[in-house]
Structure 1
Amino acid sequence: MKRLLSFLLCFGILMFWSSCRNDFEFTPSKGNLEFAKDTIYLDTVFSTIGSSTYNLKVYNRSNDDIVIPSIQFENGINSLYRMNIDGSTGLQGAQEGKLFENVELLAKDSLFIFIETTIDISTLGALENQFLYTDKILFDSGSNQQDVDVVTLVKDAVFIYPNKDENTGIIETLVFDVDGDGTDDETTLQGRFLTDEELTFTNEKPYVIYGYAGVGAGKTLTMEAGARVHFHADSGIIVTDNGSLNINGSLSTDQETLENEVILEGDRLEPLYENIPGQWGTIWLFNGSVNNTINYATIKNATIGVLAEGNQNTTNDKLTITNSQIYNASSFGLLGRATSITAENVVINNCGQSSFAGTFGGKYNFTHCTIANYWNNSFRQFPALLLNDFIVDANNTIITNDLIEANFTNCIIYGNDNPEFLLENEGDVFNFNFTNNLLRFDNNNLEGNGNYIFDDPTFYVSNIFNQLPDFQDPYENLMHIGQVSGAKGQALALSPAGYDILGQPRDGSNPDIGAYNYTTFDE
């Protein structure tokens, strides 16, 4: 009897509770949804390259569980956008990602809509190199209809990519004389050599490179002022035997847009990727390439900004780089191997290893450069400046090569570590000189030993140690120096006095150390 009464009591409670629940009774939406934003801006994308995924949060603030009869794009199945709602792609077939019916949303709850796009600008009939593509997400219809705008700027571009075998899926790799024996060698570098028609990059359209764009023997790749070059992951430029790279930027009037500089960076245009290191490979000036010049360029977010190797004994320098900036390299900003580099008004900062490394000997002359390293993404093994004259082969044999000269005049060599320059030699010829530089070096274990005898005028003349450079914001690559900088007015006066990286005349008597003249900013 007791069991029967207990059963009847529980059954009655369940029946009462069930009769009061309306959790699964959805009422039609009344057009009172709320949205986290009224416009979704999908940041600029290149034609035919898919965007990142963006999201929109939709709220039901009411006390009722509702059903939204339809969520769709205004352009219907012809929309170039696609969406996913809380993991669902909606109706199948042509309407997939375009139309969703009877979307349920509980009281006081929300849902996520994820939006992406891939747009071929040629299908839009656009006459310009960029096109603003818009659509709307429509919620419900009739008097209850609400909408959210979706906007994307699409840029046309010149695409350079290796060929792919349709049958095997194998992607073309570069073939050239790697070891200098006169015979072409197979490599694993995906890419192809530029045709003669592709050897001039203009400012008319951006260039997007997949794999390595090769500059063949005896060819010259020229980048004109204002050119924009974007690299996909594991991509870059390689200049081979007797080939040359000439980047011919010029001074910009607007330091925000840098309209006349040549800018080389990754192919992700979203702000999230603006300063992410390691998005692409390198500009590789291969052994045998000659007469490479870079003027007014910004090279950012590479693995190695510029890699120059070989040809240290040629009449002309392997690389002359002026008025340029290299930032956010995940490894080295500028790496030389047994090569010759002349640099003036160059700024290098925020690199995972060294900002400049002259390795395995060579010949280097740097004047009025800012070689800094304020890397804070991970542990950094090397200082801002590294010089050595050796390599260690697979058998742990040390092989040396002469450091013919390494001269640093009127340079800032600084960073968030200490010391910020390291000199390592194993051979007999290791020639270097530091004159009128601002240096960070405070290490009792090294100072006074070997290469660190700072009162020896053969190697060190009129340098300043450990005074603050007063950078504007080195962690944001703002490397201007302020009025209280230890570099102010301390450079060796040169003739002619010349100009700083911004085209400002240098003081003829008391110039400033580094690439920038001092300036005033909020400190």
Structure 2
Amino acid sequence: MRQYFILFIFGILLAFSSCRTDFDTVASSGDLKFSRDTVYLDTVFTNISSSTYQLKVYNKSKNDISIPTIQLKKGLSSKYRLTVDGMTGNNGKIFKDVTLLAKDSLYIFIETTAAITDANAADFLYTDEIQFDSGANLQEVALVTLIQDAVFLYPKQNPDGTKEKIKIDDKEVDGFYLEDNELNFTNEKPYVIYGYAAVPENKTVIFEAGARVHFHANSGIYVDRDASLQINGSKSNTEKLENEVIFEGDRLESLYSDIPGQWNSVLFANGSKNHSITNLTLKNAVIGLDFKSPANLISIKNTQIYNCAQYGILAQNAAIIGENIAVNYTGLASLSCVYGGNYSFTHCTFNNNWPSSSQFAVNLSNSLPGAVPETNPLTQAAFNNCIIYGSNTNEFNLNKNTNTPFVYQLNNCLLKFSSTTTNPDYQFKTDAIHYNGITLNENPKYYNVNQNKLNIDNTSAAFAKGNQAYIIPLDILGITRTSPPDLGAYQSKDFPK
């Protein structure tokens, strides 16, 4: 019995000795340390929520402390929202008696949704401070957000609460038809599109030089039957591409700068017509330019398309003349011409460094599963002074139905196809009907392929390999080409060392 009593007493002593004193706190003395003294929340559009940013707060002392208040200086009227170690406090604005253990830290997560009218009229900055404690112990961390004004285009709300819909390929999607006063996109303000902005039949949408168009998730442009699209960008003089027309997602934070699939596509319906695209930069779509059997010839010049989840250009039974086009990082193919058509591409760089073993830079086909009929003639697919390259073993794919015309020719092109094959369609050195002047499996040595900088210098295998007969006098940047010309969209130049 005595030994049980001793064990009982020992247990009590052990329990008391192991009790935590973590919450026997002392008041904060104003000696908190922070992971940064200013949190920049990047640029956001008016009334669109930002990404979530974090601030780490450190207690370097040997004492557990209590911070009497953590709050936004503007209080409950602030456009910022905080979460402090998982707590939301008073509407994410004010927190009382926050405990921070010795030699420990806490996380503060920060978001904002602000309008252009909330920002400083002189610089469009919206600012606030996170205040820790008050009086002599007051410490502050600044918050800064640039608010950008924009023109917002979106489907109307129906009386029953549903969104306005349009039909694309017999499927209803969130979308709306542009009014006559919405068909001209200028460079005065950026545009933000929700859903599909559709161009009505017999109307033309025009994008002026310097226009900036941002698409929300699952959004895009739809050009209906007998409608037209004209993109009238021009040469820019700086890396800001001030005269380029730019299509991209509506998240402006640097984290989103190269994430594929943020919005859907620019979709050209069967029977749409008279399309012209000049000096366009398109980024981060699912399919960049999606042509569904347009009625007549399409011109694409000086155009860059990057980071598309499926295709950069998908053309179904289309007719395209392409000059100075650069495409890179696409999940399936940078250029895919299916169900026949008529194509001519000169001084283009079709590269694909998407990290998979099934992607291509260029895919050609004269068939389409499920179509009636299933095959259609490929009357021409000409590639002149082009680069067709990428990270895969073979970047050029022919999907040919031998019962239907399939006409193609590569003249003075750098081509990646390193598999050994007896297939007669891929005899690049001996098949003079389809291949002339092919530079095979040599590195073009792009300036920085991971940043979509497909420029080359004089050490590139594409240097001075072009045929003068196919020369486009100016490259994609408006630089004069020399003779003999380089292959691809870019004239060679020296890079900074």
- Report matched runs for 1:421-432 at 5 Å: 421-426=396-401, 427-432=403-408
| Counterpart among 104, 127, 137 of residue 130 in structure 2 | 137
Is 1:386 the counterpart of 2:363? The answer is yes
> Does structure 2 conserve the Cα–Cα contact (< 8 Å) formed by 1:383 and 1:418?
no
- Report matched runs for 1:85-100 at 5 Å: 85-91=84-90, 96-100=91-95
1:122 offset after TM fit, Å? 3.2
Structure 1 Cα separation of the partners of residues 14 and 327 of structure 2:
75
**Which residue of structure 1 aligns with residue 28 of structure 2?**
29
Matched to 1:119, the amino acid is A
Structure 1 Cα separation of the partners of residues 461 and 6 of structure 2:
92
**Which residue of structure 2 aligns with residue 181 of structure 1?**
none
1:193 and 1:17, CA in 2 relative to 1: closer, same or farther beyond 3 A? closer
**Which residue of structure 2 aligns with residue 165 of structure 1?**
158
1:9 offset after TM fit, Å? 4.5
1:32 and 1:320, CA in 2 relative to 1: closer, same or farther beyond 3 A? same
| Counterpart among 476, 492, 495 of residue 501 in structure 1 | 476
**Which residue of structure 2 aligns with residue 417 of structure 1?**
392
**Which residue of structure 2 aligns with residue 301 of structure 1?**
284
**Secondary structure at 1:345's aligned position in 2?**
strand
1:187 offset after TM fit, Å? 3.3
**Which residue of structure 2 aligns with residue 190 of structure 1?**
174
Structure 2 Cα separation of the partners of residues 224 and 59 of structure 1:
51
Structure 2 Cα separation of the partners of residues 39 and 74 of structure 1:
14
1:248 offset after TM fit, Å? 0.8
After superposition, give the CA deviation of every residue in 1:145-169 in whole Å (9 maximum; x if it has no partner). 00000000000111111112243x3
TM-score by length of 2: 0.95
1:188 offset after TM fit, Å? 1.4
1:16 offset after TM fit, Å? 6.0
**Secondary structure at 1:391's aligned position in 2?**
coil
1:506 offset after TM fit, Å? 0.9
**Secondary structure at 1:408's aligned position in 2?**
strand
Structure 2 Cα separation of the partners of residues 287 and 454 of structure 1:
38
Q: Which segments of 5 or more consecutive residues in structure 2 lack a partner in the other structure?
A: none
Structure 2 Cα separation of the partners of residues 347 and 254 of structure 1:
18
Is 1:75 the counterpart of 2:42? The answer is no
**Secondary structure at 1:250's aligned position in 2?**
coil
> Does structure 2 conserve the Cα–Cα contact (< 8 Å) formed by 1:392 and 1:398?
no
After superposition, give the CA deviation of every residue in 1:276-306 in whole Å (9 maximum; x if it has no partner). 0111100011111111111111101000010
**Secondary structure at 2:469's aligned position in 1?**
coil
Is 1:174 the counterpart of 2:175? The answer is no
After superposition, give the CA deviation of every residue in 1:407-452 in whole Å (9 maximum; x if it has no partner). 11000011111221112221331111111111112322245x1464
Is 1:286 the counterpart of 2:259? The answer is no
**Which residue of structure 1 aligns with residue 413 of structure 2?**
437
Structure 2 Cα separation of the partners of residues 5 and 380 of structure 1:
71
Matched to 2:74, the amino acid is N
Equivalent residue pairs, number: 495
> Does structure 1 conserve the Cα–Cα contact (< 8 Å) formed by 2:176 and 2:197?
yes
- Report matched runs for 1:259-274 at 5 Å: 259-274=242-257
After superposition, give the CA deviation of every residue in 1:71-130 in whole Å (9 maximum; x if it has no partner). 111111111111111111113xxxx21111111111111111111111122355x657x7
Structure 2 Cα separation of the partners of residues 276 and 458 of structure 1:
40
1:332 offset after TM fit, Å? 0.6
1:486 offset after TM fit, Å? 1.3
> Does structure 1 conserve the Cα–Cα contact (< 8 Å) formed by 2:78 and 2:128?
yes
Matched to 1:197, the amino acid is N
1:496 offset after TM fit, Å? 7.0
- Report matched runs for 1:459-474 at 5 Å: 459-474=434-449
**Which residue of structure 2 aligns with residue 183 of structure 1?**
none
Q: Which segments of 5 or more consecutive residues in structure 1 lack a partner in the other structure?
A: 179-185
Matched to 2:330, the amino acid is C
Q: Which moved more, 1:77-86 or 1:437-446?
A: 437-446
Percent of pairs with identical residues: 45
> Does structure 1 conserve the Cα–Cα contact (< 8 Å) formed by 2:385 and 2:470?
no
> Does structure 2 conserve the Cα–Cα contact (< 8 Å) formed by 1:352 and 1:380?
no
> Does structure 1 conserve the Cα–Cα contact (< 8 Å) formed by 2:194 and 2:216?
yes
> Does structure 1 conserve the Cα–Cα contact (< 8 Å) formed by 2:268 and 2:294?
no
Structure 1 Cα separation of the partners of residues 391 and 262 of structure 2:
23
> Does structure 1 conserve the Cα–Cα contact (< 8 Å) formed by 2:346 and 2:470?
no
**Which residue of structure 2 aligns with residue 2 of structure 1?**
3
Structure 1 Cα separation of the partners of residues 87 and 16 of structure 2:
34
Matched to 1:239, the amino acid is V
> What RMSD, in angstroms, separates the aligned Cα atoms of the two structures?
1.9
Structure 2 Cα separation of the partners of residues 471 and 340 of structure 1:
29
User: Which aligned runs of 4 or more in structure 1 are off by greater than 4 angstroms?
Assistant: 12-18
> Does structure 2 conserve the Cα–Cα contact (< 8 Å) formed by 1:373 and 1:384?
yes
Matched to 1:222, the amino acid is I
